Amino acid sequence: MKNGLGISNSALEWIQNNLGEEITPEVSNLMLQLVSGDLTPRVNTQTAGQRTGVVPYDERSTEELEALLEGSLHSGQTRNRGIKKALFIQYCREKNLEKAEAMLEV
């Protein structure tokens, strides 16, 4: 609620109908505040990495992505498609054709 989150009356009714007697008085009061209209929306200026503590691939440098891929391959992980995709895109942005073509062979 500190971020200005709100829900509609119909959403509140749906939640109440589905949870029934399991709703505590505290949760009920909080839900009423969400539909009250007294909340003011705020713009969230944090990046995804700041919110979760994990930096998304598209916010990493080429060197970081290369190190991640190398570590992933070295540890035997086979699920590294996201890293490869981000690295390929980064090579394309940098116009590094040689490395981009090498990624297609991996």
The DSSP call for residue 75 is: T
Residues 76, 39 share a domain:
no
Residues 36, 2 share a domain:
yes
Model confidence pLDDT, tens digit, residues 19-37: 888 888 888 888 888 887 7
The pLDDT, as a whole number, for residue 36 is: 77
Measured CA angle at 106 (ends 85, 66), to 5 deg: 55
35 vs 52 pLDDT, higher one: 35
20-29, 36-45, 51-60 — which is least confidently predicted? 36-45
Residues 56, 24 share a domain:
no
User: Which residues form the domain of 9?
Assistant: 1-45
Distance, in Å, from the CA atom of 51 to the CA atom of 88, rounded to the nearest integer, reads 26
pLDDT band, residue 90 (cuts 50/70/90): very high
In this prediction the pTM is 0.51
19-33, 42-56, 80-94, range with greatest mean pLDDT = 80-94
Angstrom CA distances, 8 to 19, 27, 41, 56, 91, stand at 17, 16, 14, 32, 45
Residues 99, 67 share a domain:
yes
Distance, in Å, from the CA atom of 88 to the CA atom of 93, rounded to the nearest integer, reads 9
Q: What percent of the chain is helix, strand and coil (3-state, nearest 5)? A: 65, 0, 35
Candidates 73, 69, 67, 63; CA nearest to 85 is 69
